Structure 1
Amino acid sequence: MRGLPLRVRLIAGFAAAMLVVLAGAGAFVYLRVQYALDRRLDADLTAQSDAVTAALRDGTLGPRNPAVVAGGLYQILDPAGTVLAASPGLAGRSLLDPAQVAAGAREPVRADRGTLLPISPEPLRVLAGPIEPGAAPAPGRPAIVVVAVRRDQRDEALRELIAQLALANLAALAIASFVGYRLARAALDPVERYRAQAARIAAGATAVRLDIPDGDDELTRLGRTLNDMLAALDAALERERRFVSDASHELRTPLTLLAAELELALRRPRPAAELEDALRAAATDTARLIALADTLLAVGVQAPPGTATPAIDLADGVPPILQRYLTDAELRTLLDPTPPVRIDLGRLDRVVTNLLDNATRHGAPPVTVATATATGTGTGTGTGPGTGTAAGYARLTVHDEGAGMTAAFLPHAAERFTRADSARTTPGTGLGLSLVDAIVAAHDGSLWCCSGDAHHHPGPAAVPCTHPGTGTTITVLLPNA
C-alpha cells in the first residue's frame, strides 16, 4: 500500500470501512427478517403440535380426523425414535437424529432440515416435544410428537433478501467510493499543486510562491505557513548573499593594499630599515584583517543561548566590563537593578564593548551607560517613541553627546558594513552594531537606535524613550528570564 498514491490509499481504506459497515447492516437486517419468519413458523408449529397431541390423547388421531391429517405434517415416535404413526409422506425415517430424540423426550426441540443455500428439495422446520412431560413410556408406546412445516416460502424470501442486500450494498459501496475518491482528489489537489511549485523552487526558481485557494481550512493555512517560510528563507538567503558580497568587498581592499605593499617592497633591493617598515605595515594590515575576519565570524554565526545559561542582573554584569574604561573621566554610569535576563557573559561583553567603542569613536563625551527596568503599556511600532506593555524587560542604554545620526540612516544603522557619512573618516568596519543586533536578536531582544528627536524601534517590545533630546542613544531590551 505504501507504493500507491495517497488518494488511492484513502479510498481503499474508506471502501474497506464502508464494506464492513454495509456487511454488518445487511447481516442485521437479514437476521431480523429471519427471526420474524421463524417466529411465525414456530407459532404455526406450536398450534399444530397442540392439535396432534390432543388428538393423540383422546384417541381420534387417524384418517377420520382431517383437521390434523390435512393440516400439516407429523410423526409419533416411541422413546427409541421409532416411527409409530405419521402423516402421508413421512412414514419412513424419523425426522430426528438420536440426540434430538433424547432431548425431545424431555423438552420441546426445534430443528431445521434442508439448507437455505444450495436450495434443498424438501426444506422443513421441525418441532418435537414429549407427549407426557416427565413420563417414561415403555418401548413401542407413543412418547414424542414431531410436527413439521415446509420452509419453501420462508427460504425463498430469505434468498431474495440476500440478493437484494448484495445488490444494494454493492451499489452503495460503488457510489460511496466514487464520491470519496472525488472528495479525496479535490482535497489533495492543493497538495499536488504545492508539490509541483515546491519542485520548481527546488530547481532554482526564485520569488515563486504557492497558489493558495480561498478559504481557511487546514490546507490553506498550511499554504500560508509555507509561503511565510519561503519568504523567510528568501530573506535569509538574500541577507547571506549580501553578507558574502559585502564581506568580499571589505576584504578585497585591505588584501589589495597588503599585496601592493609586499610587491612594492620586493620590487627592488631595499635597506633593512625600509624592509622592516614594510613588514610592520604588512603586520598592521594583517592584524586588521584578522580582526575583521573575527568580527565577520561573530556576526555570521550567532547561536541562541542554551537553557543552561545563568540568569544575571545587568547591573551586576556590566560593571566588570567597564573596568577598562574607568580611566576615561567622561564615562558616567547609572546602573539600577534590572530583572534577571539569560545572556552569556561573553556575549554581554561584546555588546557593551561594541556600544562603548562606537560611542567613544564616533560620538562625543560624556558617555553614559545605564541599566533599568523597562515598563510601559500598549503596542509598539516600527518607528517613534512608542508606548507599550514591556514588563519583564531589562534595558541597557549607551548615550553620547555627539552630532548623532540622521533620521534616514537610523533604520540602517545595524546593517552590516553600513556607516554614516560622518563616520567614514574614522577607523572601523561598520560591523559593531551588526554584531550587537545579532547577539540581541539571538536572545529574543530588541535593539533601538535614537538620535535627537528621531527614533527607530524595531521588535515587539515598546517602552517610552527616556534619553535626552540630544546626541545618540543605543538601547538594548532583553526579556526577563
Structure 2
Amino acid sequence: MTPGAGRWRRLPLRVRLIAGFAAAMLVVLTGAGGFVYLRVRYALDRRLDADLTAEQTAVAAALHDGTLDPRNPAIVSGGLYQILDPTGAILQASPGLTNRALLTSGQAAAARHGPVRADLGTLLPISPEPLRVLATALPADTTPPAGQPAVMVVAVRRDQRDEALRELIAQLALANLAALAVASFVGYRLARAALDPVERYRAQAARITDGATGVRLDVPPGDDELTRLGRTLNDMLAALDTALERERRFVSDASHELRTPLTLLAAELELALRRPRPATELQEALRAAATDTAALITLADTLLAVGVQPAPAADAPPTDLAHTVEPIVRRYRNAADLPDTALRTDLDPAPPVRLDPVRLDRIVTNLLDNALRHGAPPITVATATADGWARLTVHDTGPGMPAEFLPHATERFARADTARTTPGTGLGLSLVEAIVTAHGGQLRCCSGPAHHHPQQDPVPCPHRGTGTTITVLLPTTERG
C-alpha cells in the first residue's frame, strides 16, 4: 500500500464518500460541458465556413471577370482575400493584407491539391485579429501574370465566434462549479443521514463493550440495508446475552454441584489420614474415595455436555431411527442385566432423521437411565411416525412426576422431591432437550394425568394415566 493510499484510508468514511462523489460529478460535468462546447463551436464554424464559401465564390467571379480591384474590396462580403503564388508570396491582396501571407508555404502547396481551412489567432489568450481562412487552387489562365498557378485565400474575422465561445466557457465554468457545490452539499447531507445510524450503532456498541448488558440498538422503522443490519446486530446481541447467561449458569451450577462432593471427598481423605488405621480401613476409605471420584468425573462430563450448546449435524447421513435404536436398547438391557419383560421395544418404521448415531445413543441412554432410576419396569421404547415427524418414546410404569414439577423437569439439576433419595444429578433430561432442540426437534414430558409440552406438538400424549412418558419428536429428511 502506498503512503497516499494509507492516508486516504485513514480519512473518515464520510469525507471519502464526499470526495469520491465530488470527483465523479466533476468528471461528469466536465464531460458534459466539453460536449456542449464542441457542439456550439461546430455550429459557429459551419456558419463561418458558409461565409467563406460565399466570399470565395464572389472573389473567384470578380477575378474571372477582371473586376477584382484591391482598392475597392466592397465587391466581396468581407473584403479579405489574397492571391498567393505556389511559394506563398503575395501576388494580390485586399487592403491590410499586403504585408503578410495568411498561409505558410507548406499550406500554400497543400492548397494546390485540395481546399485548406485554417484558424489564425488563438481563442485564449485573445488575439487582436482572429481569422478563419479558406484556400483553394486557381487555374493558371485566370491569375496575373497569366500562365502562373496560384492559390486564392479568403478570410473572415472570428471576433464574434470567439467572443461567444469565451462567454460559453465562462458560463459553463460557473454553472459547473455551482452544480458541483450543490451536488457536494446534497451528497454530504445524504452521506450524513446514511451514516448517522451507523454512528449510533457504534456508540451503543461501545456501551456494550464497556460492560452494559441488555442494551439493544435503536433501529429506526423501515426495511433498508441499515435497518436490516440493526435488526441483525440486535439478534446477535440477544444470542450473545443468551450465551453469556448460559455460561454464567453453567459456572454457577458447576460450582454448586461440585462443591459438596469435593468437600465430602476431602473430608473422607482427611479423616483417613488423621490417625494410623489398619490396612483394611485405609482400603475401604480409598474405595469410597475412588467411587466419589468416579461420580465426580461423571458429573463433570455431564456438566460439560450440557454446558456446550450442541451443534446440529447438518452433514450427518440419514439415520434410520428404528434400526439404530434397537441395538442401543439391547446393549443397555445386557449392561443393566434386565430381562426382556423389563425393557421392551415396539419399533415401527419411521422416515430417516438427520441425527448422528452417537447423539441418538446419548438421547436413548439418558432417557433409559431416567426411567430406570425414577420409574419402574416394564419400560417400553417405541418408534413411530406422527404427522411427518419421527417419534421416539420411552415409557415407564412408575409413580410418575408431580404435576407442579413437569414444567421444570428439563431444567438443570431439577429433581422432584420424590427423586432426591435416588442417584442422579438432574441433568439427563436437560441434555436430551438441548440435543433435540438443536436439531429442530421437540421434547415432551407426560406423567399420569398431567402433561407438559414446551412447544406445540402435533400428537397427543400417549399412555396418559400410567407412569411417565418422554416423547422426542425429530424432523425427518422428508420434512426438512
TM-score by length of structure 2 reads 0.90
Correspondences of 1:92-171 after superposition (within 5 Å): 92-132=99-139, 141=148, 143-171=150-178
1:225 aligns with 2:237: no
The answer for the alignment partner of 1:342 in structure 2 is: 354
Amino acid at match of 2:361: D
Contact 2:143 2:149 in 1 (8 A): no
TM-superposed deviation, 1:138:
9.3
Aligned to 2:374: 362
Q: 1:279 to 1:106 in 2, by over 3 A?
A: same
Deviation readout 1:6-30 (Å, 9 max, x if unpaired): 1111111100110011101111111
After superposition, give the CA deviation of every residue in 1:266-294 in whole Å (9 maximum; x if it has no partner): 22233333322222222211111111112
CA distance in 2, matches of 1:341, 1:147: 96
Instruction: Write the distance in 2 (CA, Å) between the matches of 1:373 and 1:155.
Output: 92
Q: Aligned residue for 1:291?
A: 298
| Corresponding residue for residue 4 of structure 2 | none
Task: Map 1:369-388; keep pairs closer than 5 Å.
Answer: 369-375=381-387
Relative to 1, partners in 2 of residues 1:276 and 1:63: Cα closer, same or farther, differing over 3 Å? closer
CA-based RMSD: 2.4
Deviation at 1:325, TM superposition (A): 1.5
Deviations 1:385-424 (A, max 9, x none): xxxxxx3x32211122333334443333222211222222
**Alignment correspondent of 1:445:** 441
Distance in 1, matches of 2:146 and 2:9, equals 71
Alignment deviations for residues 354-376 of structure 1 (CA, whole Å, 9 cap, x no partner)? 1011112112333221112231x
Q: Return the offset for 1:448.
A: 2.3
Over 3 Å counting, the alpha-carbon distance change for 1:219 and 1:474 in structure 2 is same
Matched, 1:332 2:340: no
Partners of 1:305 and 1:344 within 8 A in 2: no
> Take 2:145 and 2:322, find their aligned partners in 1: how far apart are those partners?
115
The residue correspondences of 1:36-435 to structure 2 (distance < 5 A) are: 36-63=43-70, 66-68=73-75, 71-132=78-139, 141=148, 143-301=150-308, 303-304=310-311, 309-323=316-330, 324-325=332-333, 327-328=338-339, 329-375=341-387, 391=388, 393-435=389-431
How big is each residue's C-alpha offset from its partner over 1:198-233, in whole Å with a ceiling of 9 and x where there is no partner? 111111111211122233322122112211211111
For residue 134 of structure 2, give the secondary structure of its aligned residue in structure 1. strand
Shift of 1:92: 2.5
Q: 1:24 to 1:406 in 2, by over 3 A?
A: farther
Q: Say if 1:139 and 1:209 are closer, same or farther in 2 by CA, change over 3 A.
A: farther
Task: Assess, with a 3 A threshold, how the Cα gap between structure 1 residues 444 and 75 changes in structure 2: closer, same or farther.
Answer: same
* 3-state DSSP of counterpart to 2:10: coil
Q: CA deviation at 1:455?
A: 4.0
Equivalent position of 1:379 in the other structure: none
Tell me the equivalent position of 1:464. Answer: 459
Whole-angstrom CA distance in 2 between matches of 1:161 and 1:468 = 94
Task: Measure how far apart 1:91 and its partner are.
Answer: 1.3
Do 2:310 and 2:434's aligned partners in 1 also have CA atoms closer than 8 Å?
A: no
Verify the 8 A CA contact 2:55 2:76 in the aligned structure 1: no
In the aligned structure 2, how far is the partner of 1:127 from the partner of 1:408? 110
Tell me if structure 1 keeps the 8 A contact 2:131–2:155. Answer: yes
Which residue type is aligned with residue 333 of structure 2?
A: Y
5+ residue gaps, structure 2: 1-7
8 A contact 1:129–1:144 mirrored in 2: yes
Query: 1:237 offset after TM fit, Å?
Result: 0.7
Unaligned runs of 5+ in 1: 376-390
SS at the partner of 1:428? coil
Give the Cα–Cα distance (whole angstroms) in 1 for the partners of residues 394 and 22 of structure 2: 70
2-structure distance, mates of 1:411, 1:17: 64
CA distance in 2 between counterparts of 1:453 and 1:68 reads 125
CA distance in 2, matches of 1:158, 1:261: 107
Aligned mates of 1:322, 1:24 — CA distance in 2: 81
The whole-number CA distance in structure 2 between the counterparts of 1:61 and 1:344 is 110
Letter in 2 for 1:463: P
Q: Kindly provide the amino acid, as one letter, of the partner of residue 31 in structure 1.
A: L
Name the CA shift for 1:175/1:209 in 2 (closer, same or farther; >3 Å).
Answer: same
The one-letter code sitting in structure 1 at the alignment partner of 2:293 is T
CA offsets 1:95-143 (integer angstroms, 9 cap, x no match): 112332233212222110111111112111111122349x999997353
After TM superposition, the structure 1 stretch with the greater mean CA deviation from structure 2, 149-158 or 439-448, is 439-448
- Counterpart of 1:114, as a letter, is G
TM-score by length of 1: 0.90
Structure 1 residues 407 and 113: CA distance shift in structure 2, 3 A: farther
Q: What is the rounded CA distance, in whole Å, between the counterparts of 1:357 and 1:201 in structure 2?
A: 43
Partners of 2:247 and 2:42 lie apart in 1 by 79
For residue 9 of structure 2, give the secondary structure of its aligned residue in structure 1: coil
Native 8 Å contact 1:75 1:145 kept in 2: yes
Preserved contact between residue 412 and residue 427 of structure 2 (Cα < 8 Å) = yes
Would the alpha carbon gap of residues 332 and 97 (structure 1) be closer, same or farther in structure 2, given more than 3 Å must change?
same
Q: CA deviation at 1:452?
A: 3.9
Contact 1:63 1:69 in 2 (8 A): no
1: CA distance, partners of 2:349 / 2:49: 95
* Distance across 1 between alignment mates of 2:219 and 2:473: 37
Show the counterpart of 1:26.
33
Counterpart of 1:476 (choices 452, 466, 472) is 472
Give the direction of change, closer, same or farther, for the CA distance of 1:318–1:75 in structure 2 (3 Å limit). same
For these two proteins, the number of residue pairs brought into alignment is 464
